[in-house]
Amino acid sequence: MMEQAPEPVSDSLAHLFRELPSVHELLIAEPIQILLRSYARGQIVQACRTHLEVLRMEIALGNHSRDGLKNRIAELPSAIEKELRKQRLYSLRPVINATGVLLHTNLGRALLSREAMQHVTDIACGYCNLEFDLETGARGKRDIHTESLLLDVLQSKAGVGRLGETYRALIVNNCAAAAFLALHALAKGQEVLVSRGELVEIGGGFRIPEILQASGAVLREVGTTNRTRIADYERAITPNSALILRVHQSNFSMQGFVERPGLEGLMELGRRLNVPVFHDQGTGLVESLDSYGISGESTIVSSIRAQCDLIAASGDKLFGGPQCGILLGTQPMIDRIRQNPLFRTYRVDKLGYAALEATLHQYLENASGLPVLKMLATSVEEIGRRCLGITEQVSKQDLTAEVVEVASVLGGGTAPTARVRSCAISLKHCGLNSDELVRVLRGLDPPVIGRIEGGRVLLDLRTVDPASDSYLARELRRIAAEEPRNLPPGRNG
C-alpha cells in the first residue's frame, strides 16, 4: 500500500500563482492609480508586467512560501514606484566634486556663474536675436554678441590701447576645434614649425602632430625635446613656412636641462622673417594668478602684450566660462578662418553665446566672483573650519572622520605643477575599505566624488559649494550609523 502522497508540487505552485494579481487588478489598485498622476499609463503597465514576471519566475524556482509571497505582493506598488522613479533619472546628473580638482574634465570643467545660467535660461526658453539685427530688422551675425565685448575685457585687463584696431575675435566649439580650424585655414599644404618639446598630447586624443596632419599642414619639427632655441626656428624657416606654432605645455612640466624661447623672441623672429606666430594658449587664463599664490602661468594678456598674431584658448578652463574655443588674432588671419568652409561646422549655439556673454560681463564687473576664481580664493582656514564643522557631527565608531591638510590642483589641462593649500575630510570605515567607501559615496544622490590617498578617502571641500556641507554631514552620519551591507550601492555593486 502506498502512503498518502503529499500535495503535488505543481498543485502548490499553482496555488501560489493564483495569488498573483493581474496587471488589470494592479492598475486599479489605489496606490497605482495615484502613480497615474505623474507617470504615463504605458510606462506603469510595463513596470507592472516586469514585476509580475519576476514574481512568477521566483515562484517557479520555488523561492516563495505563501506568506513571503503575500508580503511581496503587498510591496508591489512601492517597488513599481521605485522603478518608475529610477527610470526618470537623467543620465547627466549633478555631482558633488570633492576631489579638490577645480577644473575636472570628467566632471564638466568650469562651473558657470548663476548670472551666466540666468542669461542662458532666458535665451534658451524663448526666441532671441541670435542672428537678427534689431536696428535694421535684417539678418545679423551671431559673433557680434561677444566679439567686441571680449576685446573690451581683454583690452582693459591687458592695459593696452584700442585692442579692436589690431585684433578680431572668433568663437568656435572648443579649443581643439579652434587649433584645427586655424591650421587648416592658414597653413594647409604649407609648413608649420613646432618645437619638439611641444609635440604634446593634451588629453582625450588631442595630439598636436595628429591635428596638424589632419588639418593638411606639414609639421616641421624644430630643436630637441628639452631644448629649442630661436636659432633652431630660424634655421627651419623656408619660403613654405606658414606659421610658427607655440603650444602651451598644459598638462606636464619639464625640469632640468631645458630651454625654450619666450613668446617675445618668437614674435621678433616671426616679424623679421614674415612668419606669423600662433599661440595655442589653451588654458584661457586671462590674468596672472599671482594673487592666488600661483605664479608663472601663461595668460592671454601676456600673449596679447607680446602681440601674438593668433591666440587660441579654451572657454571652460581657467577662463571660467562655457565650453568654447576662443580665437583672437589679427584681422587678416581671423577673416581667413571665418571664410573657411569648415568654420560653419564648429559653430557655437545660442546657449554658448549667452553663457559666454554673461561671463564676459562678469569679467567687466567683478572677475573674482567667477566660480573658479572664487573657489581658488577660499582660504585654507575657511575650508578647514567647514571640514571641522562636518567631522564634529560625524565621527562614530564605524566611521572615523578627521580634518587633514591637502593640496588642491587646478586640473583640466592647466597649471600642472600648481598646488593650492587646502583641507579635506579624511574618512576611514572599519567595515568598508577605501575603494568600497568611495563607491558608497558615489552611490549617494547626488553622488559625492572623493579621492583615495594612503588608504583613506579624502573629501577636499575647496571644490564643494558650502551649501552642500549640511548634505555631506547628514549623509556621512547616515553612513556611520548604517550596517555596511545596507549601504548603497552595496559592497558588490
Ligand X SMILES: *Cc1c(COP(=O)(O)O)cnc(C)c1O
The Cα 443–Cα 315 span in angstroms is 31
Among 120, 158, 175, 425, binds ligand X (CB under 6 A): 175
The Cα 13–Cα 7 span in angstroms is 10
The Cα 50–Cα 131 span in angstroms is 50
Match 609635440 to its residue by C-alpha cell: 199
Q: How far is the CB of 315 from ligand X (least distance, A)?
A: 7
Among 97, 146, 228, 250, binds ligand X (CB under 6 A): 250
Using the rule CB under 6 A, give the single segment among 129-137, 140-148, 242-250, 445-453 that binds ligand X.
242-250
Which single residue brings its beta carbon nearest to ligand X?
Answer: 282
Q: How far is the CB of 173 from ligand X (least distance, A)?
A: 8
Task: Select 116 or 183, whichever has its Cβ closest to ligand X.
Answer: 183
3-state SS class at 401: strand
Task: Select 223 or 282, whichever has its Cβ closest to ligand X.
Answer: 282
Task: Select 314 or 463, whichever has its Cβ closest to ligand X.
Answer: 314
The Cα 230–Cα 265 span in angstroms is 7
Give the footprint of ligand X on residues 318-337 (CB under 6 A).
325
Task: Select 206 or 363, whichever has its Cβ closest to ligand X.
Answer: 206
Q: How far is the CB of 359 from ligand X (least distance, A)?
A: 15
CB 154 within 8 A of CB 148: no
Q: How far is the CB of 323 from ligand X (least distance, A)?
A: 6
Question: How distant, in Å, are the alpha carbons of 82, 90, 115, 193 from that of 85?
Answer: 5, 10, 31, 56
Q: How far is the CB of 62 from ligand X (least distance, A)?
A: 56
Q: Does 176 bind ligand X (CB under 6 A)?
A: yes
Q: How far is the CB of 171 from ligand X (least distance, A)?
A: 12
Q: Does 248 bind ligand X (CB under 6 A)?
A: yes
The Cα 368–Cα 256 span in angstroms is 35
Q: Residue 487 is which amino acid?
A: L
Q: How far is the CB of 412 from ligand X (least distance, A)?
A: 7
For 243, residues 6+ apart whose C-beta sits below 8 A from its C-beta are 183, 186, 187, 190, 192, 193, 217, 275, 276, 277, 278, 310
Task: Select 48 or 176, whichever has its Cβ closest to ligand X.
Answer: 176
Q: Does 198 bind ligand X (CB under 6 A)?
A: no
The Cα 170–Cα 141 span in angstroms is 12
The Cα 241–Cα 220 span in angstroms is 9
Q: Does 174 bind ligand X (CB under 6 A)?
A: yes
3-state SS class at 217: coil
Q: How far is the CB of 125 from ligand X (least distance, A)?
A: 27
Half-sphere exposure of 42 (CA within 13 A, CB side): 0
C-alpha dihedral (236, 414, 187, 172), degrees to nearest 10: -170
Q: How far is the CB of 297 from ligand X (least distance, A)?
A: 11
Determine whether 29 is exposed, middle or buried from the number of CB atoms within 10 Å of its CB (0-12, 13-18, 19+).
middle
Q: Does 247 bind ligand X (CB under 6 A)?
A: yes
Strand partners, 326: 171, 313
Please state whether 211 falls in left (phi above 0), alpha (psi between -120 and 50) or beta: alpha
Using the rule CB under 6 A, give the single segment among 53-61, 128-136, 147-155, 278-286 that binds ligand X.
278-286
The Cα 361–Cα 372 span in angstroms is 16
- What number of chain residues touch ligand X (CB under 6 A)? 15
Q: Does 197 bind ligand X (CB under 6 A)?
A: no
Give the footprint of ligand X on residues 393-422 (CB under 6 A).
413
Task: Select 261 or 282, whichever has its Cβ closest to ligand X.
Answer: 282
Among 314, 422, 426, 463, binds ligand X (CB under 6 A): 314
Rg (CA), the chain: 30
Q: Does 280 bind ligand X (CB under 6 A)?
A: yes
Task: Select 371 or 412, whichever has its Cβ closest to ligand X.
Answer: 412
Q: Does 202 bind ligand X (CB under 6 A)?
A: yes
Among 197, 261, 282, 384, binds ligand X (CB under 6 A): 282
Q: How far is the CB of 341 from ligand X (least distance, A)?
A: 21
Q: 145 is written with which cell numbers?
A: 554678441
Strand partners, 379: none
Q: How far is the CB of 299 from ligand X (least distance, A)?
A: 13
Using the rule CB under 6 A, give the single segment among 168-176, 219-227, 427-435, 466-474 that binds ligand X.
168-176
Q: How far is the CB of 205 from ligand X (least distance, A)?
A: 10
CB 250 within 8 A of CB 410: no
Q: Does 352 bind ligand X (CB under 6 A)?
A: no
Task: Select 35 or 200, whichever has its Cβ closest to ligand X.
Answer: 200
Using the rule CB under 6 A, give the single segment among 87-95, 139-147, 275-283, 368-376 that binds ligand X.
275-283
Q: CA nearest 429: which of 446, 450, 406, 408?
A: 450
Using the rule CB under 6 A, give the single segment among 94-102, 158-166, 247-255, 332-340 that binds ligand X.
247-255
Footprint on this chain of ligand X (rule: CB under 6 A): 174-176, 179, 202, 206, 247-248, 250, 280, 282-283, 314, 325, 413
